[in-house]
């Protein structure tokens, strides 16, 4: 668990002095990073690895999971039960929080109304609970409100840790862009008043390329690659943002070149035992998959105009902190 | 588990599971396989990422099923005795259609369709995507044009949302609290008492007047259709629970999706929904035949160079780790599905091996098809 407001020992970086408006800083010099991608591509793992990289570089970093998800927290704390909205310390300078809409709403109301009793009046009212559950997009809106709050140098919450970097494990692709757009949508509908005002402030952080970055995570397969290109188009169209980096997850080792593959195929013909044939077949299969994956990476790279950062497939039963640590080293070298 | 038998006489097949496990591909393959066996099948997908369209060579899937060119299958050597149709659900359009049908008057319809909350945010109404999927499924089923409808469920991280969706949507439109909210005026203050009046004034401080007004109109106009929403949800639930429907679960052999599948299965059981079985995609099989992977070092042909032989051994070991992991997770699933009563679970599970090539076209669907529709004897061979 985190304690106290603690800004000690944090090396002061250039991040308090934003670069000139025309210059887009390196991804890790931003304040807020959205890690996006479709379901099952390893977004949470990349968010966790990125958090480790940032923390190693001396930044106080928080990884925010949304919609009550807590995979990163469970993997990195080795706990089964995670309290929502608590800021857990995961490693030196690395923190994590699972933002659930209920707590986010409560905090949002308190910050807006500034009087605890008024906020309590609302949240304890059945009619209000009803209203909150029924209002479309409200959950996403207050979640984004919390993300924004985490990214403030002067946190609104009392005694809160000050973070240099907030990493958001965003919802799966299609939903991800809608999620990032919610504050703008609310601001447009509300026109005037506190929500409109707040929505605009949050939106201005999200679309500011000097402060906010987007990382897309993909698998080296045909459809995830297509979807990453679609994502690139969508964030440009709806948010005016560009992808700062693309991470390709789960690359098989390229153990056998074409010449070796030839000798594997010949050996398969002469292999005398079922075990030897199985091993050679496994090696050949891996070769085929590894080749196909590299073709997809090349296609992605060309389509996006960025060199993707490649993360290896890990032959492990489960990803725990050690494995995430290994991935973070590869990620750091690639960013 | 035999799919043809499992789906015998069923009119609806709902394919559930968490994201990234090959659910869309599996749904498409099931639909294709049943169509090849003489049925007129439509597969409905909700994935916003046009994956199915890619798979079926359709440029654009709109909100109505389209016939997939049988020639595409013939080219790959599959004879289509029936017909395969495919559609991609457009939740917004479906919602508009529902409003159109349920609105008591044209004025009420226009009030909803032009409301800014509705226009901008109705996709974010809790459960609306799932609700529209169900509603569309219901419509297609009522139309009676298809022998079998295969539904690929929304890619929510929580597969359960899907089952609860109709209830969640109707719950928010019912009840006294909403009725109160629909009259946020001075009169309401008198009717409902001082407490509610205060809640309103505080609420207005948070939302601002405009947003509250738009919300109020949104709820009021939709509330005229509550009965329609509710009766549809009821009908859909009844259809899903009866013997014309079959639920299939799709998962990959990693721990998280397996746990999710088990969770979903329990939910199905509790709701007494018909469950046909689980399909586990991308399974790494153990090819050591009980030996240790390292034993192969002695048996590799001598012609392999030392470095290649070492790499072969390394890769064999790596995949053995995956095979052991998959076997353990699959066994865990099997035990759960058997309900701990010692009943064999084999009949409720089907394994599809991790294929060398990625599945993204008809040829890929056919490779999956070989496993999903294999006879018991053929499966033994695998």
CATH number of the domain to which B373 belongs: 3.40.50.300
> In the structure, what pLDDT confidence band is assigned to residue A7 with cuts at 50, 70 and 90?
very low
Helix, strand or coil, per DSSP, at residue B178: helix
**What is the distance between the alpha carbons of residues A215 and A107, in angstroms, rounded to a whole number?**
28
Q: In chain B, what residues touch A191 (CB-CB under 8 Å)?
A: 208, 210-211
pLDDT score recorded for residue A324: 92
Asked whether the predicted pLDDT for residue A93 surpasses 60, the reply is: yes
**Helices A173-190, A138-150: crossing angle, 10 deg rounding:** 90
Asked whether the predicted pLDDT for residue A13 surpasses 80, the reply is: no
| CB within 8 Å of chain B, chain A residues 283-322 | 283, 285-286, 288-289, 292, 296, 315-318
How close is the nearest chain A Cα to the Cα of B320, in Å?
A: 9
**Helices B106-114, B91-102: crossing angle, 10 deg rounding:** 150
Per-chain mean pLDDT for chain B? 83
Give the nearest chain B residue to A282 (CA atoms).
B316
- The closest CB to that of A185, out of B121, B202, B299, belongs to B121
| CB within 8 Å of chain A, chain B residues 334-363 | 356-358, 360
Backbone angles phi, psi at B42, to 5 degrees: -120, 135
- The closest CB to that of A270, out of B175, B210, B301, belongs to B301
pLDDT score recorded for residue A120: 86
| Rounded average pLDDT over A239-244 | 94
Range with the largest mean pLDDT of A127-131, A270-274, B6-10: B6-10
Asked whether the predicted pLDDT for residue B158 surpasses 60, the reply is: no
| Rounded average pLDDT over A115-142 | 81
> In the structure, what pLDDT confidence band is assigned to residue A247 with cuts at 50, 70 and 90?
very high
| Rounded average pLDDT over B88-117 | 88
How close is the nearest chain B Cα to the Cα of A206, in Å?
A: 19
In the beta sheet, which residues pair with residue A61? A94, A165
Q: Torsion angle, CA of A272/A273/A278/A283, rounded to 10 degrees? A: -40
Return the residue matching tokens 């085929």. A288
Return the residue matching tokens 């659910």. B23
**What is the distance between the alpha carbons of residues B374 and B382, in angstroms, rounded to a whole number?**
10
Backbone angles phi, psi at A8, to 5 degrees: -80, 155
| H helix or E strand, kind and range, residue A235 | helix A222-239
Examine residue B289 and state whether it is found in any structural domain, yes or no.
yes
Helix, strand or coil, per DSSP, at residue B211: helix
A166-220 pLDDT, tens digit per residue, is: 999 998 755 678 889 999 988 888 888 888 899 999 999 999 999 999 999 999 9
Of A42-51, A294-303, A317-326, B339-348, give the lowest mean pLDDT range.
B339-348
Q: In chain A, what residues touch B210 (CB-CB under 8 Å)?
A: 189-193, 196
Chosen for mutation from B215, B252, B301, B331 (greatest number of chain A CBs closer than 10 Å) is B301
**What is the distance between the alpha carbons of residues A254 and A292, in angstroms, rounded to a whole number?**
11
| H helix or E strand, kind and range, residue A59 | none
| Nearest alpha-carbon partner for A145 in A191, A99, A94 | A99
pLDDT score recorded for residue B146: 97
Per-chain mean pLDDT for chain A? 87
| Rounded average pLDDT over A13-41 | 73
**What is the distance between the alpha carbons of residues A268 and A264, in angstroms, rounded to a whole number?**
6
**What is the distance between the alpha carbons of residues A315 and A312, in angstroms, rounded to a whole number?**
9
How close is the nearest chain B Cα to the Cα of A249, in Å?
A: 13
In the beta sheet, which residues pair with residue B87? B44
Q: In chain A, what residues touch B322 (CB-CB under 8 Å)?
A: 315
A4: contact with B, CB 8 A cutoff? no
pLDDT score recorded for residue A227: 85
B174: contact with A, CB 8 A cutoff? no
A229: contact with B, CB 8 A cutoff? no
Q: In chain B, what residues touch A140 (CB-CB under 8 Å)?
A: 124
pLDDT score recorded for residue B379: 67
Helix, strand or coil, per DSSP, at residue A168: strand
> In the structure, what pLDDT confidence band is assigned to residue B292 with cuts at 50, 70 and 90?
very high
pLDDT score recorded for residue A8: 42
How close is the nearest chain A Cα to the Cα of B300, in Å?
A: 5
Of A148-157, A311-320, B50-59, B241-250, give the lowest mean pLDDT range.
B50-59
Asked whether the predicted pLDDT for residue B153 surpasses 90, the reply is: no
> In the structure, what pLDDT confidence band is assigned to residue B168 with cuts at 50, 70 and 90?
low
> In the structure, what pLDDT confidence band is assigned to residue B192 with cuts at 50, 70 and 90?
very low
A335: contact with B, CB 8 A cutoff? no
Q: In chain B, what residues touch A265 (CB-CB under 8 Å)?
A: none
Examine residue B191 and state whether it is found in any structural domain, yes or no.
no
Range with the largest mean pLDDT of A71-75, A194-198, B145-149, B258-262: B145-149
Q: Where are the domains of chain A?
A: 25-253+307-334
| Nearest alpha-carbon partner for B278 in B253, B310, B302 | B253
What is the domain range of residue B41? Answer: 8-92+126-161+237-381
Give the nearest chain A residue to B222 (CA atoms).
A134
* Tally of CB atoms within 10 A around B378: 11
Asked whether the predicted pLDDT for residue A4 surpasses 50, the reply is: no
Of A36-45, A161-170, B195-204, B351-360, give the lowest mean pLDDT range.
B195-204
User: How far is the CA of B268 from the CAs of B157, B159, B243, B246, B292, in angstroms?
Assistant: 17, 11, 14, 11, 40
Give the nearest chain B residue to A75 (CA atoms).
B256
Give the nearest chain B residue to A195 (CA atoms).
B207
Chosen for mutation from A130, A143, A297 (greatest number of chain B CBs closer than 10 Å) is A130
Asked whether the predicted pLDDT for residue B126 surpasses 70, the reply is: no
Asked whether the predicted pLDDT for residue A103 surpasses 60, the reply is: yes
Buried b (16+ CB within 10 A) or exposed e, B134-148: bbbbbebbeeeebbb
One DSSP character per residue, A257-295 reads: -HHHHHHHHHHHHH--SHHHHHHHHHHHHHHHHHHHHHH
| Rounded average pLDDT over A4-9 | 40
Range with the largest mean pLDDT of A109-118, B200-209, B281-290: B281-290
Q: In chain B, what residues touch A37 (CB-CB under 8 Å)?
A: none
| Rounded average pLDDT over B187-196 | 48
Asked whether the predicted pLDDT for residue B90 surpasses 80, the reply is: yes
> In the structure, what pLDDT confidence band is assigned to residue A14 with cuts at 50, 70 and 90?
very low
How close is the nearest chain A Cα to the Cα of B123, in Å?
A: 8
- The closest CB to that of A118, out of B128, B202, B209, belongs to B202
pLDDT score recorded for residue A281: 95
B59: contact with A, CB 8 A cutoff? no
A63-74 pLDDT, tens digit per residue, is: 999 988 888 898
B77 exposure class (CB count in 10 Å sphere: 0-12, 13-18, 19+): exposed
Q: In chain A, what residues touch B258 (CB-CB under 8 Å)?
A: none
Q: In chain B, what residues touch A179 (CB-CB under 8 Å)?
A: none
B299: contact with A, CB 8 A cutoff? yes
| Nearest alpha-carbon partner for A17 in A5, A31, A3 | A31
| H helix or E strand, kind and range, residue A104 | helix A101-113
* Extended strands (E) in A49-146: 61-65, 88-91, 94-98
| Cβ distance of A230 and B255 shorter than 8 Å | no
CB B148 within 8 A of CB B34: yes
Asked whether the predicted pLDDT for residue B380 surpasses 70, the reply is: no
**What is the distance between the alpha carbons of residues A40 and A43, in angstroms, rounded to a whole number?**
8
Examine residue B376 and state whether it is found in any structural domain, yes or no.
yes
pLDDT score recorded for residue A54: 96
**What is the distance between the alpha carbons of residues B16 and B36, in angstroms, rounded to a whole number?**
23
How close is the nearest chain B Cα to the Cα of A254, in Å?
A: 10
Percent of chain A topping pLDDT 70: 92
Q: Torsion angle, CA of B239/B241/B245/B248, rounded to 10 degrees? A: 140
User: What distance, in Å, lies between the first and last C-alpha atoms of chain A?
Assistant: 30
How distant is the alpha carbon of residue B206 from its chain centre? 37
pLDDT score recorded for residue B230: 77
Helix, strand or coil, per DSSP, at residue A251: strand
| Rounded average pLDDT over B213-222 | 78
| Rounded average pLDDT over B305-322 | 95
One DSSP character per residue, B322-361 reads: HHHHHHHHHHHHHHHHTTTTT---GGGEEEEE--SS---S
B319-372 pLDDT, tens digit per residue, is: 999 999 999 999 999 999 987 555 555 568 999 999 888 777 888 899 999 999
Domain total of chain B: 1
Q: In chain B, what residues touch A278 (CB-CB under 8 Å)?
A: 287-289, 296, 316
| Cβ distance of A178 and B209 shorter than 8 Å | no
CB B211 within 8 A of CB A196: yes
| Nearest alpha-carbon partner for B83 in B46, B36, B47 | B36
Chosen for mutation from B156, B164, B206, B287 (greatest number of chain A CBs closer than 10 Å) is B206
Chosen for mutation from B19, B211, B310 (greatest number of chain A CBs closer than 10 Å) is B211
- Domain A25-253+307-334, CATH class in plain words: alpha beta
CB B111 within 8 A of CB B67: no
User: What angle is formed at CA A141 by the lines to CA A140 and CA A142, rounded to 5 degrees?
Assistant: 95
């Amino acid at each position: 668990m985190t304690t106290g407001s603690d800004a000690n020992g944090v090396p002061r970086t250039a991040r308090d002095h934003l670069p000139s408006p025309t210059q887009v800083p390196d991804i890790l010099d931003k304040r807020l990073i959205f890690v996006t991608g479709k379901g099952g591509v390893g977004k949470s793992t990349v968010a966790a690895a990125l958090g480790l990289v940032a923390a190693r570089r001396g930044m106080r970093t928080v990884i925010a999971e949304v919609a009550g998800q807590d995979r990163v927290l469970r993997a990195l704390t080795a706990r089964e039960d995670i309290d929502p909205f608590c800021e857990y310390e995961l490693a030196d300078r690395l923190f994590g929080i699972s933002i659930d809409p209920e707590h986010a709403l409560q905090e949002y109301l308190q910050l807006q109304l500034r009087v605890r009793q008024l906020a309590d009046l609302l949240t304890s009212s059945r009619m209000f609970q009803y209203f909150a559950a029924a209002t479309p997009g409200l959950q996403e809106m207050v979640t984004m409100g919390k993300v924004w709050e985490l990214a403030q140098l002067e946190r609104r919450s009392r005694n809160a840790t000050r973070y240099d970097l907030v990493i958001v494990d965003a919802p799966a692709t299609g939903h991800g862009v809608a999620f990032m757009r919610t504050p703008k949508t609310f601001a447009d509908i509300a026109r005037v008043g506190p929500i409109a005002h707040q929505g605009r402030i949050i939106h201005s952080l999200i679309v500011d390329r000097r402060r906010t970055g987007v990382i897309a995570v993909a698998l080296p397969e045909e459809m995830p690659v297509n979807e990453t290109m679609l994502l690139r188009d969508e964030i440009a169209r709806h948010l005016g943002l560009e992808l700062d980096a693309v991470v390709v997850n789960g690359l098989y080792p390229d153990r056998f070149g074409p010449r070796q593959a030839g000798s594997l195929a010949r050996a398969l013909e002469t292999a005398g035992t079922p075990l030897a044939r199985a091993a050679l077949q496994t090696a050949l299969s891996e070769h085929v998959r590894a080749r196909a994956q590299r073709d997809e990476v090349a296609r992605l790279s060309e389509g996006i105009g960025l060199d993707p950062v490649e993360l290896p497939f890990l032959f492990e039963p489960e990803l725990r902190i050690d494995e995430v640590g290994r991935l973070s080293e590869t990620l750091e070298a690639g960013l | 588990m035999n799919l043809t038998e499992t789906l015998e006489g069923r009119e609806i097949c709902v394919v559930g599971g968490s994201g990234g496990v090959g659910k869309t591909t599996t749904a498409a393959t099931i639909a294709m396989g049943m169509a090849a066996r003489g049925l007129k099948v439509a597969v409905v997908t909700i994935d916003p990422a046009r994956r199915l369209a890619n798979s079926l060579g359709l440029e654009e899937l709109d909100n109505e099923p389209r016939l997939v060119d049988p020639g595409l299958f013939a080219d790959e050597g599959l004879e289509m005795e029936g017909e395969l149709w495919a559609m991609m659900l457009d939740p917004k359009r479906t919602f508009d259609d529902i409003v159109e049908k349920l609105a008591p008057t044209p004025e009420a319809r226009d009030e909803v369709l032009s409301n800014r909350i509705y226009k901008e945010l109705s996709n974010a109404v809790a459960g609306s995507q799932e609700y529209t999927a169900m509603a569309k499924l219901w419509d297609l089923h009522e139309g009676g044009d298809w022998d079998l409808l295969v539904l690929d469920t929304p890619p929510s991280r929580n597969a359960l949302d899907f089952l609860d969706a109709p209830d969640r949507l109707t719950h928010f439109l019912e009840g006294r609290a909403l009725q109160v909210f629909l009259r946020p005026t001075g009169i309401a203050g008198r009717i409902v008492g001082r407490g509610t009046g205060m809640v309103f004034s505080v609420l207005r401080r948070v939302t601002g007047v405009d947003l509250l007004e738009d919300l109020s109109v949104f709820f009021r106009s939709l509330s005229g259709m509550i009965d329609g929403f509710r009766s549809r949800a009821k009908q859909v639930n009844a259809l899903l629970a009866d013997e014309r429907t079959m639920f299939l679960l799709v998962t990959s052999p990693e721990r998280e999706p397996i746990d999710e599948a088990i969770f979903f299965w329990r939910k199905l059981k509790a709701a007494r929904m018909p469950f046909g079985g689980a399909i586990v995609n991308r399974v790494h099989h153990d090819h050591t035949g009980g030996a240790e992977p390292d034993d192969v070092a002695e048996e590799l042909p001598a012609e392999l160079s030392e470095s290649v032989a070492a790499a072969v051994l390394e890769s064999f070991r790596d995949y053995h780790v995956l095979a052991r992991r998959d076997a353990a997770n699959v066994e865990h699933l099997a035990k759960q599905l058997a309900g701990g009563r010692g009943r064999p679970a084999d009949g409720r599970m089907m394994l599809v091996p991790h294929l060398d090539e990625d599945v993204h076209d008809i040829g890929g669907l056919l490779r999956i098809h070989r496993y999903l529709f294999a006879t018991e004897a053929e499966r033994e061979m695998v």
